[in-house]
Structure 1
Amino acid sequence: MQNPSKAEIKEILQRSKRIAVVGLSDRPDRTSHMVSKAMQDAGYEIIPVNPTIDEALGVKAVSSLKEIDGPIDIVNVFRRSEQLPGVAEEFLETDAPVFWAQQGLVNEEAYQMLKEKGRTVIMDLCIKVAHAVTK
């Protein structure tokens, strides 16, 4: 399992505008909220994907990726590693080009499934940190 190069990640972040965040919490003390807020503050449109909340970061939440209207550039995932294959299956039903699993999240099955379909996969890397170091 190998992430794209730093240069490729920089290019992904530069061309991307809309980030769907699977598992985004509405609680400001949660990592998913803090990271997504930082990305929102950096100019990205954040779409909360969480069936257990109504909204996060001032944006109405959707229950699944399928409910999102319009293009998605990155799907950023805050779910346990063992849940990544299920999220990957749903991701493959979208046209989103980049599946990004946050720091500490790795799943070989999900990685292989996505790579076989030609999607860009990033795992075990914080999008906020990547954004900060590739500016």
Structure 2
Amino acid sequence: MNYTDQSLREIFIDTKVIACVGMSKKPERASYYVSEFLKDKGFRIIPVNPVYVGQTLLGEPVRTSLTAIEADIEVDMIDIFRKSEDVLPVVEEALARFPNLKVIWMQLGIENAQAAELAEARGVTVIQNRCPKIEYPRLFG
């Protein structure tokens, strides 16, 4: 898919809360340093990883799943750090849990046509094989 710079800019401007699925606590992992970068840019990061439940990452308690995110938290974007073949259940859970979800973002190297089609049918913007840590500075300097 061809994403215009303007459409990507609008995603960042409209997004306030990002659930990072598959976030690691290891600073050298992309899922950590991308999430840390986004937090530093003012986004609220909700870490989702059942391995780290009971711990805190970037000032937020780690949730075991998207459905474990409190009902009063409205997530705008799901940033997925999982293998392409593991994306569909994440997207299905996201669509079921967040009726007002705006964006599903799949990191570099991650693509899933079936998941993208499902989300787009619900009016959710889908970005595949891109990284917000690369796009944000490119678009906003």
Q: TM-score, normalised by structure 1?
A: 0.94
Aligned residue identity for 1:90: E
Question: How do residues 96-135 of structure 1 correspond to structure 2 at under 5 angstroms?
Answer: 96-135=101-140
Residue type of the partner of 1:58? G
Q: CA deviation at 1:58?
A: 2.6
The 2-side partners of 1:19 and 1:4 are apart by: 19
Q: Which runs of 5+ in 2 are unaligned?
A: none
| Aligned-residue RMSD, C-alpha | 1.1
Per the alignment, in what secondary structure is the counterpart of residue 72 of structure 1? coil
Answer whether contact 1:23 1:32 (CA < 8 A) is retained. Answer: yes
State the distance in 2 between where 1:119 and 1:46 align. 19
Answering whether residue 71 of structure 2 is matched by residue 72 of structure 1, we say no
Letter in 1 for 2:129: D
The number of residue pairs the alignment matches comes to: 134
- Where in structure 1 are there 5+ consecutive unaligned residues? none
Contact 1:75 1:99 (8 Å CA) reproduced: yes
- Counterpart mapping for 1:25-64 below 5 A: 25-53=24-52, 54-64=55-65
Q: 1 or 2 for the larger relative contact order (CA 8 Å, sep ≥6)? A: 1
